[in-house]
Amino acid sequence: MSAVTITVGDRAIEAELNDSATSRDLIAQLPLSLTFRDYGGQEKLATLPAPLSVDGVPTGSAAQANDIGYYAPDNVLVLYYKPVGYFNGIVRLGTVGADDMEFLRSQPDGFAADITAS
């Protein structure tokens, strides 16, 4: 597992990533400054500068609340604050604490976040 820090304003949020090719690709792109928007009342998402590898990961997943994921078809990093059903293209990357995810959920469309390796 690897740790990353998601910083929004003056709040630093620690998240744990799993050991997958997709997570390693994300870490290789760090540091990143991303702009997140709400999608479907269930997640916040931001477009990544380059696609992540999906080698060796399942073709889809059902993300849970507090998951960090990658939606490969749209090349977006996703912060799930509600569970979603199974979709092809979802790769679960890790998790963030429930209180921290509630803070992220409450952010307005277009909020900026810096993501760095911890």
How confident is the model over 8-20, as pLDDT tens digits?
Answer: 999 999 999 999 9
Element (H, E) at 102: helix 98-105
Right CATH for 2-117 from 2.40.100.20, 3.30.1330.10, 1.10.275.10, 3.30.870.10: 2.40.100.20
pTM of the model: 0.96
Does the pLDDT of residue 104 top 90, yes or no?
Answer: yes
Q: What angle do CA 70, 76, 80 make, to 5 degrees?
A: 60
* Three-state SS at 8: strand
How confident is the model over 19-59, as pLDDT tens digits?
Answer: 999 999 999 999 999 999 999 999 999 999 999 999 999 99
